[in-house]
Structure 1
């Protein structure tokens, strides 16, 4: 019998559970047992949690490990244009036939029992990883950490917690210590953990969990530091100093992400060439990405066109800091957000760097904030704001009004994914 395409199976999987998010590991453990426990047969695992910077940090670690000839599995979410982006097998995106095969196997093993989309697709990724030879497995947490579907590896080689900030409070807790405690749920007994820059009360929650489990910490500001100096990235840890090019991923926040990646690589014994590759070869779309081709770029004409998927207050701060460092030119935002996000917290830091904002709704997303609501929130922050029926219409209008300007499409990974799909 011919295996149906992945899109067909993934659509069926969406209906297996009434909730998109339902944090527990019971369903994952049940399915993994039915599959023969693939999570016990993975190449050495590096597990990454945090509010912001997980994907960029993972991309840098992967670039560093691959520069030394390592074959690296990588799991990330959500995808932007195609589901296949979530699963990278020994350096290559999973093929359509193999993705369909492992999805179908998981669907059969699950037997129609309720399980969330993320849980069953994570099991499919772990199955593919276990069956494909590689040297490393990089697992990015989907949401939180303690009860995330990726948190099933008993003894990872290393864990990493990137900066923690307020996001997903309805699932993780209302305070920073509560959220940091959930992220710290990936820490395992005796397993070292690299910790990126944290607020003091967030760091306290991480340190408390690590102390209970006897997990050695490699903490930013204590065991390692990274900073920019004279147009270079300087990294220092107990092994000495590295003088490297600035990260090719734009934005001052990438200094901290690079620092966490370098701390991880140095702990794993990587050499200076791998460390340099980590900061110069990493690729991570929709993180202050300059678009260079496609219908949207044609519509922008001589205006610069950028794309970013940040969607919480810390993401807004990172985008604002990046824009402030760029060559000065009028900057116009095209913003679409979900109604579950703190839009005021996201937009407030951008008010200082944006000349205008054009609000759009996110096509096909039931939880999109309406363009009119986004416009109203922008007006409260003091940003001159209007609305548009689509991103393409917004880009055309802004390019006609200000041909020498900079246009940044931002506010949601779901909006960014739609832009990448439509723009080719």
Structure 2
């Protein structure tokens, strides 16, 4: 079994060195990591082929295989993500506020790294690179554990990043990957509170809940995405069709894909047949409530469980609602606090939706697929936080920091 304590000690040592690095040195190392990923693309793709072959033999769904797949464009995308992270403002050392107290103490609140960040994730090899890059930029050591489905890809990626760090004269243990993908080792990692300052799970809702329930390390909960789009009676229907199809079909396996559509009853008879036609073209299965089924007789009846389900597949749930209030009530009951969208030309409806929906990201007239660190301008993301403490929404380098107070006096004592 892997010696996690030894890995933890190495991570803490590396994190101390990393926390002292200046911005220019960090950015140069990030750009070198990006270049080395592209130079090592053939080795990475060969490793990924082994994972894909195993996935096919185990009958993994096509949507989940898409999560696993690497190709030249995706490797370039990961490399460009590292370069974009390098271009971002360095959060470390940034002063949030400063003041002088009645005792003439000068106080500043300054951004510092969290420390050693554990990331435990499923079949998304790009997480290896995104997490390592963002942790590095924010002065944190990355302690990574991916799923067995992507183990060969993850090893190839992490080996490339570690070699790049070493060639830059830096401690390669700023990035470490657990090669042991057993459940026992994963459980031990979740209990590694002496070395991990925080643990971030990425994967399905079921996986994240398991980590939250079992971990002894503080958690930042991410990712499960039962995302909704509400089509208001004032919606531009052509716009609504384009947004829904994009949000559902572009990459159905990811957490910001739309899983449910709510349609105002005043436009349902006109809009639903058009939506069904577009969904059928894209081979999306529809599960609908009774009102939807009365308009679209061929749809599969939706169950109560459907309204809670993140499909991660070519499946969508549709419900006809009486109006904005019912849509908001339904979404707040069944959503996962991730991303929700309203399609409307009514300003008051848009503002009410954004004010009353409880989610990390709330859109007006846009696809939920934009909930992404890269699209938000962060270069990449460590995940989408769906909780309210510490961070919420796409997490970039800034969200991987905390603060400390620096207090300067001139001999003051407290009486």
Larger Cα Rg: Structure 1 or Structure 2? 2
User: TM-score, normalization: structure 2?
Assistant: 0.27
User: TM-score, normalization: structure 1?
Assistant: 0.27
